[in-house]
Structures are given as structure tokens and as C-alpha cells.
Amino acid sequence: MNGVNDFAFKIGTVNGTGSASANGLLMRSIFRMGIPVTGKNLFPSNIQGLPTWYEIRVNADGHLARAAEIDMAVALNPATYAKDVAEIRPDGYLLYDSSWPLPQALNREDITILGVPFGRLCVEAFTGDRERTLLRNIVYTGALAALIGIDMEVIDSLLNETFGKKPKLLDANHKAIRIGYDAAVELLDCPLPFRLEPMDATSDSILIDGNTAAALGALYAGATVGAWYPITPSTSLMEAFTAFCHKYRVDEETGERKFAILQAEDELAAAGITIGAGWAGARAFTNTSGPGISLMQEFLGLAYYADIPSVFFNIQRCGPSTGMPTRTQQPDILSMAYASHGDTKHPILFPADPGEAFEMAVQAFDLADQLQTPIFVASDLDIGMNDWMVKRLTWDDSYTPNRGKVLTAEDLEKIERFSRYRDVDGDGVAARTLPGVGGKGAYFVRGSGHDQHADYTEDSAAYCELVDRLRRKFSHAATLVPEPLVLTQEGAEIGLVTIGGCDLAVREAQALLREQGILVDVMRIKAFPFQEEVKEFIESHETSYVIEQNRDGQLRSLLMIELGIPKDSMIPILDYGGMPLTARVVVEAVAGAPAGVPA
Amino acid sequence: MTSIAKPVVAHPRLKTNALGLTLRDYEGGMSTLCAGCGHDSVTAAIVQATWELGIEPHRAAKMSGIGCSSKTTAYFLKQSHGFNSVHGRMPSVSSGAAAANRGLSVIGISGDGDSLSIGLGQLSHAIRRNVNMIYILENNGVYGLTKGQFSASADIGSKLKKGEVNEQPPIDPVLLALSVGATFVGRSFSGDKRQLVPIIKAAISHRGLALVDVISPCVTFNNHEGSTKSYKYTRDHDVEAVEADYIPVCEPIEITGLSNGSSNGNGHATNGHADGRPANGDGDLRVVQLHDGGTVRLRSTDPSYDPTDRANAYQHISGCQSRGEIATGLLFVDESSRSMHDVLKTTSTPLVDLGHEDLCPGSAALEKLMGRFC
């Protein structure tokens, strides 16, 4: 497992002590050395004082799902020593702060224990509690640089970029990095057997989190109205959108802004603002997480029934209720698919990484306008808040927003009567008008029964005509949403079906299983409604596993309901403890279970 | 049952407004409310006010929630887009529509059920946000569409038709609005078109959210002895503060003093300035003949009543309330208020009219930005 450019380590600290910037520095340094890397921030729902961890995985082959094994723990929080030590693989390493003795009870004979007196070094070199606490993070970063072979020039240049405008801070950081590096070289046998060697595998890539990428997608798609209520882990999406709008959408001369971002009183209002703006003709969105999705149910039904374009980013987290707000999951698949009372169905896009979060954000706005309905973008905490290595985002300047069927004043002059909900084209999508168009374009939108002219009705036939049109529209949506990604191997009889952020772990599992002589095909579903080829993939494999991150197998249920696939032909692999999926979970489930027998 | 369109008959001698439109052009579908419903009078006042102001019908957006009051958006401005949303959520939908297109004149209609219970939060926050809209709250103290339960504006001691007595304190939307920073607060009575029309006109012209609470009796469930929202009770206890004068569109609101019955030539009762009148407590009681033949007793306020002073307005309204009276008129206005669009610094071109080139930074900017993520 361990070796050059193939290992994982985990740093345990206390939240609120400034370790986040040090961890980012570590990861970015490795990335700048051209080596594929990923970081998972495992943080508490708390501001200061509770344990927090950061896992960094390095993998030359680009397997960047969460690592199944920890080669080294960097234990800096005495409160979690026991847990940190226990997680180290046999023959692994523990790096701890030897300013204080490590409790004997924590000794493990099968690991190598490395001590550097980070605390004492900081006391000697710096003054003041705050400075000592903050710089301890940089000191351990320096020690790690010596242990795993990070290029100090890369670290120095990153520090210069970060603190260039603050000379005092810059000097202190340079000093701290050197103290840690020198101490490790002096006290320990550097470098370790697993270490870094420069590569050239990251030059076309970036490190970005999915919320930032989705915000960029919204910006580039031309979204002008954003409504939200703060909720982890979706908050940073609107914060990023706000920052980008201030950078790119403010008139330099007048200070006028080409956007309106409204922090609402709750998620109900955020949904209402989004729908009101969508109806008025803006590209509008809201971002939320599970509890917000619950609160938005009524409005989602209105937007579905009244054909109103709107985009809902759901950065999923562990439910139910408040659940574990800083842990990842895919628990809202069913509550998005059928959100609201009455017969409702909503298209959902499932990005697998920040790169797709960017692309699908743009697609979502086009789909919302084309289909005149709410579109979900179902990300999760791992995609949304962690830095992933993905290909550089690019933009095609020939893109023009697909605004769907919108009648202008000129269009209206040519027709006898405007009927808001008349399906002229047979695709279930009727042309709309925007408020302000004038002429005969006015109509009355309502959540109560309405006929094709948008007039109130309690007539059975008129009601059925309308809801049947919405069903046609949903079928039409299947032709517009992205198709699944299928990775086949000659001779494979097992199919792995998965979704969203499970992608990397499942692909890695495909490679690991192949090493064991087990050939599997992979299909990652990118959207709901499902296309026929989703069904064909499952039917064409003797055994299919459905891999997802929730307790009840919601994707599998949706496949059964929507495609009529028999329950027993899909074996669930469920990982719902709140951590990003590892390939090991998939490998053990597939290799450990006799084919055809449910796990 | 489907909606009922009103026959359009254009009488050649109908008066036209500045746009050459007649009152009929500002009407909507046939009302399906009970005969005598106060809400229909409010609808008529809205038709009158928007016609007089010369609002371009297609520039108006009619917003509502759920309830009898919310149905009324179908009964006026048939050439305007309308949005009958979900219960208690009209304010957020209006916020979105107003944010997206600042060229729209957003007319929100709600009721006491829709606004003071399920929608209390949304009402309060729309006021705080100072959304560019008029918010008319048709207040009858009762849930009409579900056949006569108390609403949150029912007074203590007020009786339902079947005799049940309300024992919970009422929420007064006017006091609530003042306490959460409203920048325009008016109250009137559905049966008092003379007072209501100018208030609506002033409200539409206000920059920011203008709340107009209209006591609008429910003839079916809450217009009997014992109801404090009945025609009789309201007429007996209506206390007028300050009237709004005729306000041309897009000009600042001018506050004038008390009514003395003179005319401004536009066919409306107007206000003489209060200067020179002696301060004499709550002023004189006067009896005014209303358009429907009823009378209303109006007590003029202290000539020194200053509708730009929030604390003073609060004191006046709560003072009336403690005497069982209802303060009406234009009760408070803050002419210097910053509306939602002022605060958001939104571009003067409505967001919906911006082209993609105005919004998308393009490939070169993205390429440059990628440097931040390496």
C-alpha cells in the first residue's frame, strides 16, 4: 500500500486553532509538485474547541477517493490520541507533539512513533499564545515536509503568495516552516519509506471545491437572482456566488450591480423568492441542504404544477432531522425526486465532482428554462466543501442560454389567443410569457386547478389534461438530461451502478477487483429521470450492485419504481456513516459476496 | 366551476385617463366572493386608484397567497400578469418578482389569515427588506374560505357567528409593521373609498413596501353584533389620522393635514393644511356620508400629528386601540427610506432585461481565475 506517491495521512487538531490554512498549504504544495492529491476535511458542527481532522491522500494513479488506510497519523489533539493511534495501519507511523509525554496506554508495538516537540519549539521561537498556537500548525507542516519530502521551495512560494502583503506574518511563517523542517531532520530519520517524488500529473488540473464550482456555473449561466438561508454544507455556494458577482457583475463607474442576492428568513422564503424571480423571467436559484429541502416541499409542488423555472442546489448531508450536519451522505434522492404533495416528479442532476458541479449548474439553468420546472442539482458535503483535483474549468464563448419557449410581444401579435398551458409541440412544454410583455400575454398563474388557458377550474377533464401534460413533460426531460457514464470491460458479468460522489471510489474498486480477477462494469447515473439505457445496463448484467450513501437504498428504490427493475436483481451496497466512500467498502462487498446472493 | 369573465362593454362616453384607458380596462374577472363582501370594495378602490394613477396594466404584477382576499387579484387588472401562490407566502414570491424586474409595479393582496398567522414571518421580513411593492391586507378577523374560524386579528371578546368568543390577543398589522421598520403604513376601511383610494395611490407611489391594512368585513361569517370587524363596529370606531393627497406617479409623497372637505379638482376630497388649527387633544368628531350610504364617525387627530414620526404613530395607534377605536388614514411614512433595490444597489435596467454578455465573464476571465485554484 505505502510507497512513493501512494499514501495517506491524517492530521488531528482542535477546530478553531488555525489548522485549516496549514492543511491547505500541505495539499497545495503536493499538488504543485505535480502529484495527484486530495484532502478531506472531517470537521465538527462547532466553531471552536472540538476535534477536527484532515485526511490527505496522494496517489500517482489518480485514485483520489477517500483512502481506506491511514499510513500516518499526525496527532496534535490529546483528546483524540486514542482514536488517532487506533486508525493507523499496521507498520504505520504516528507523529505527535513530544512537548508532553504520550500516555503509555497508547503505545502500539506495530507502529513507529515519531515525536517532535512542536509546542516547545513554538514557545521558544514566538511570543504570545495566539501566535504560538497558530504557528504550531506551520511548524508541523515543516516537519511533514521533511518526513514526506515536500519541496521547500514550493512551500516558500506558496507562503509568499498567501502572505506577500503582510511582511510580518510572512516572516513568522517562513521561520515556523524552517523550525519544523530542521527539527524533523535533526530528530528523525527523514524521509519516510512513503514519500513524494515530483511528477507532471497536475498541470491541466486545479484544486477546487464543488460549491465554488457550482457558484461559477450559476455565474456563467447568467443567474441573476440568488435566494438562500444559511445552512451547512451549502452556505459556501452562495458566499462564493456573492464574491464572484462582486468581482464580475458590478459596474465600475456607477457601482450598480447586475445581480440580486437575498438572504431570506428561512428556506420557505428562499424557495418563494426563487420561484417569484423565475416566473418574472430571471434565472434564479437557491441552495440548501436536507432540512431546507423539507421546508421547500410546498413551493416545489407549486413550481411543478404551475410550470415555473427554478434551480435548487441541494448539498446533501446526513439526515434525518438535523442529523450530522458536517457529515456527508446521499440521503435526499427520494425526497427530491417526488418532492411535495400530490403527483409530482422533478428532474435531478447528480454531479460526481466539482468539475461536474460547474457543468451541471449551467445545464440546470438551461433545463429549468427548457422544461419550465424546478431542477435539482444534488451535490453533497464531500463534493461541496472539500478541495478536489479536477480538470481546469473551461468555458465556450459560443454558449447562449437556452431560455426555452418564451413568447415576445411580436410573437403574441401573430396569434389569436395566448393559452399559457396549451401543449402545441407535444413535448408537454407550453410557451410562457413574462410579466411586462403586454398585449394578450397576461395570464394568471395559480397553484389551484387550472386549465390550458390558465383559468381556474375544478373540471375533471381539464385537470387530467394538465397533469397528463406534466407527465409527458417529465418523459421529455429524460431526453434532455445527461446520459449515464458507462465504463465497461471485456467479459464483465457484474455491473456496479452508482451515483454522484461515489464515483471515484467505485472506479478505484473496479481497478482493485480487476487485480483480484473480478471484472466489473460501472455505470454512474448522472440524472433523473432515468433513460432506457440505465435499465438496459442493469438487465444486461448477471449481477448488479447499486452503490450509494444512504441506509435505505434510495437510488435502488427509484430504479425499481421508475424502471420496473426487479428488486432482487439489484444488490445494495450502502455506506451511510457520514464519511466519503472508500473503494474498500465496494471491493469487500463485491469480492466477499457470492455472485447473485444479496449482501 | 370555472372562472367568470366579465363582459367588456366600452361605453363611448366613459372617461379616460392619461393613457387613454377607461376604468373598465382596469377591471378583471367577475368576483366570486359573497355579495356585500368588503373585499369587492377594496377591489373597486384598486381599480380606481390604478386607473387614476395611469398605471400601465401590463407593467403591474398582481401577487397573492391563499384565502378570500387572495382570490381578488383575479378581479382587477385583467391585462396584468397575476400570481396566486401558496398560503402565507405571497411576500417571498413578490420579493423574487420585484428583484427580477424592477420595472413591475408589484401589487400584493393578502388577508389577516394569510398574513398574520401562517405568513407572519414572511410579512415581517418583506417589510424589513422594504420590497418595492404595495401590500394590501384585507382584514376581516376571520377565515372565510374555511367557513368562519378566528384569525389572529380577531379581538379579544369578539364573537363568531355560532357564539364562540375569542380569548387570544389580536395581532395588529399596523403596529407590527411599525415595530419592524415599515416605511409606509396606512389603514382604511373597505367601505370608505374616499379615504382608501388616495391611500392606495400614495402607497403605489411609495418607494419601498407600503402596507395598507384595510378593515374589510366578512358579510357571511363576521358581520354581526359582537364582531369587531363588522361594518357597524368599524364605522362606529374608525378614527382617522391623516389622509394622503393625490400623488402623481414618481413624485415624492407630500403629507398634508386633516380633511376639511374641500376639493382639489380631481374629484376627491382633499386635505387642507393643519397649520393654524389649535391643538386640542384628539380633535373633533365628524360624521361623513360614505359612498354606500352609510355613515362613519371620524375623529380628527391632533393637528400636530406627524406621520413621519414612528414613535408618535405608534402612540396614536395604540392609544386609539386602548379606547376600542381604529386609527385610520396614512399613519406613517418615511420618505427617506431605502427600498430593497436601493439597498441591493441593483442596476437601473431590470435584471430580466440584461443580456448574457452583461452577465457572463467569458472564457478569458475563467482561464485567468483558474490560477487561483492551482
Average pLDDT, chain B: 82
Query: Taking CB atoms and an 8 Å cutoff, what residues of chain B touch A249?
Result: 359
- Residue A25: closest C-alpha in chain B: B374
State whether the Cα torsion B329-B335-B337-B338 is positive or negative.
Answer: positive
The half-sphere exposure of A525 on its side-chain side, counting CA atoms within 13 A, is 30
pLDDT at B9: 66
Cross-chain residue pair B367–A439, CB shorter than 8 Å: no
Q: What is Dmax (Cα atoms) for chain B?
A: 78
Distance, CA of A570 to CA of A545 (rounded, Å): 5
Can you list the residues of chain A whose pLDDT is less than 70?
Answer: 1-2, 593-599
Q: What is Dmax (Cα atoms) for chain A?
A: 88
> What dotted CATH number matches A6-187?
3.40.920.10
Percent of chain B residues past pLDDT 70, beyond the cut: 81
Cross-chain residue pair A442–B58, CB shorter than 8 Å: yes
Cross-chain residue pair A256–B346, CB shorter than 8 Å: yes
Q: Indicate the pLDDT class of residue B21, thresholds 50, 70 and 90.
A: very high
pLDDT at B324: 82
Cross-chain residue pair A272–B129, CB shorter than 8 Å: no
Distance, CA of A547 to CA of A513 (rounded, Å): 15
Q: Distances in Å between the alpha carbon of A67 and those of A58, A141, A326, A380, B345?
A: 9, 20, 19, 18, 47
pLDDT at B13: 79
The predicted-structure confidence for B208-249, as pLDDT tens digits, reads as follows 999 999 999 888 887 777 777 887 887 788 777 655 453 443
Which of A266, A275, A391, A460 has the highest number of chain B CBs within 10 A, making it the mutation to test binding with B? Answer: A275
The DSSP result for B148-192, as a single string, is SEE-TTPPTT-B-TTS-B--SPPP-HHHHHHHTT-SEEEEEETT-
**Average of pLDDT values for B41-66?**
96
- Residue B128: closest C-alpha in chain A: A265
Q: Indicate the pLDDT class of residue B260, thresholds 50, 70 and 90.
A: very low
Cross-chain residue pair B358–A258, CB shorter than 8 Å: yes
Distance, CA of B142 to CA of B144 (rounded, Å): 6
Which of B55, B63, B101, B110 has the highest number of chain A CBs within 10 A, making it the mutation to test binding with A? Answer: B101
Cross-chain residue pair B84–A446, CB shorter than 8 Å: yes
> What dotted CATH number matches A485-592?
3.40.50.920
Q: Indicate the pLDDT class of residue B294, thresholds 50, 70 and 90.
A: very low
Backbone conformation region of residue A265, classed left if phi is above 0, alpha if psi is from -120 to 50, else beta: alpha
Cross-chain residue pair B362–A395, CB shorter than 8 Å: yes
List chain A domain ranges: 6-187, 208-391, 409-480, 485-592
Q: Do domains A208-391 and A485-592 have the same CATH topology?
A: yes
**Average of pLDDT values for B264-286?**
35
Measure CB to CB from residue A258 to each of B63, B359, B367 and give the nearest one. B359
pLDDT at B279: 34
pLDDT at B230: 80
Measure CB to CB from residue B99 to each of A31, A262, A265 and give the nearest one. A262
Which among A279, A220, A476, A451 is positioned nearest to A371, based on CA atoms?
A476
Distance, CA of A502 to CA of A66 (rounded, Å): 10
> Cβ neighbours of residue A385 under 8 Å, at least 6 residues apart?
A41, A209, A210, A211, A233, A236, A315
The three cell numbers of residue A246 are 462582486
Distance, CA of B374 to CA of A33 (rounded, Å): 11
Superfamily, domain B23-352: Thiamin diphosphate (ThDP)-binding fold, Pyr/PP domains (3.40.50.970)
Q: Which residues of A452-469 are buried (b: 16+ CB within 10 A; e: fewer)?
A: bbbbbbeeeebeebbeeb
CATH class of the A208-391 domain in this structure: alpha beta
Residue B300 above 80 pLDDT?
A: no
pLDDT at B254: 34
Counting one residue from A and one from B, how many pairs have CB atoms under 8 Å apart?
Answer: 230
Yes or no: say if A369 and A328 are a contact pair by the CB < 8 Å rule: no
Model confidence, pTM: 0.93
pLDDT at A32: 98
pLDDT at B303: 64
Cross-chain residue pair B374–A207, CB shorter than 8 Å: yes
List chain B domain ranges: 23-352
Query: Taking CB atoms and an 8 Å cutoff, what residues of chain A touch B352?
Result: 224, 280-282, 434, 436
Lowest mean pLDDT: which of A11-25, B152-166, B175-189, B358-372? Answer: B152-166
Q: Indicate the pLDDT class of residue B104, thresholds 50, 70 and 90.
A: very high
- Residue A300: closest C-alpha in chain B: B86
| pLDDT greater at residue A342 or residue B14 | A342
Cross-chain residue pair A272–B92, CB shorter than 8 Å: yes
Measure CB to CB from residue B363 to each of A276, A394, A447 and give the nearest one. A394
Cross-chain residue pair B93–A439, CB shorter than 8 Å: no
Query: Taking CB atoms and an 8 Å cutoff, what residues of chain A touch B365?
Result: 248
> Cβ neighbours of residue A424 under 8 Å, at least 6 residues apart?
A430, A431
Angle between helices A167-187 and A129-148 (to 10 degrees): 50
At B198, is the secondary structure helix, strand, or coil? helix
Distance, CA of B232 to CA of B191 (rounded, Å): 11
At B109, is the secondary structure helix, strand, or coil? strand
**Average of pLDDT values for B34-53?**
94
The half-sphere exposure of A451 on its side-chain side, counting CA atoms within 13 A, is 13
Cross-chain residue pair A442–B81, CB shorter than 8 Å: yes
Percent of chain B residues past pLDDT 90, beyond the cut: 57
